[in-house]
Amino acid sequence: MPKFDSFPVNLRTICHSQYHAVALMLVGYSLEVCLKAMILLRLGPEEFTKQEQNHFHHRLQELADFMPDLSAKELATLKGLTHFVIWAGRYPDPGTKRTRDAIDIFDISEKYQINAKDLFELATKVMKHVQEIVK
């Protein structure tokens, strides 16, 4: 656990939230790398190079579109993680262009009741799918 005792009281919550955002960003990064690696394995180097522009983004739910049986909740979880990969894990404020995105994070979480267990079960499912790709 981070210790924010030395921070002024009004900054502790902000710093603690950013600490969690960074952790979610890192989970999202690992899933992004894994998904892109699986796309590369599925397509092969030549075809992947031809289609590289199609995968040159951070939208996790789109990168995972080849995975069978992802539930609406799992896709929503990937969409929520995308926010952390793109901006929420890096910056405390989404900026004016991403104001709606900040609201989306809360809407997704509340609608699907996403918790840490769901997140790590999804990460496990994605990581295990590698075994299907390399058969």
Backbone angles phi, psi at 102, to 5 degrees: -65, -40
Give residue limits of the domains in the chain: 9-133
CA–CA distance, 69 with 122 (Å, rounded to integer): 11
CA angle 75, 79, 80 (to 5 degrees): 115
pLDDT of amino acid 7: 64
- pLDDT tens-digit map of 104-130: 888 898 899 999 899 999 999 999 999
For residue 17, is pLDDT > 80? Answer: no
pLDDT of amino acid 18: 67
Nearest to 39, CA basis, from 27, 22, 23, 56: 56
For residue 11, is pLDDT > 70? Answer: no
The rounded mean pLDDT for the chain is 87
Distance from first CA to last CA of the chain, Å, rounded?
A: 40
What Rg, from alpha-carbon coordinates, does the chain have?
Answer: 17
DSSP string, 57-125: S--HHHHTTTSTT--HHHHHHHHHHHHIIIIITT-SS--GGGHHHHHHHHHHHHHHT--HHHHHHHHHH
Weakest-pLDDT range from 42-46, 51-55, 75-79, 85-89: 85-89
Residue with tokens 């926010």: 83
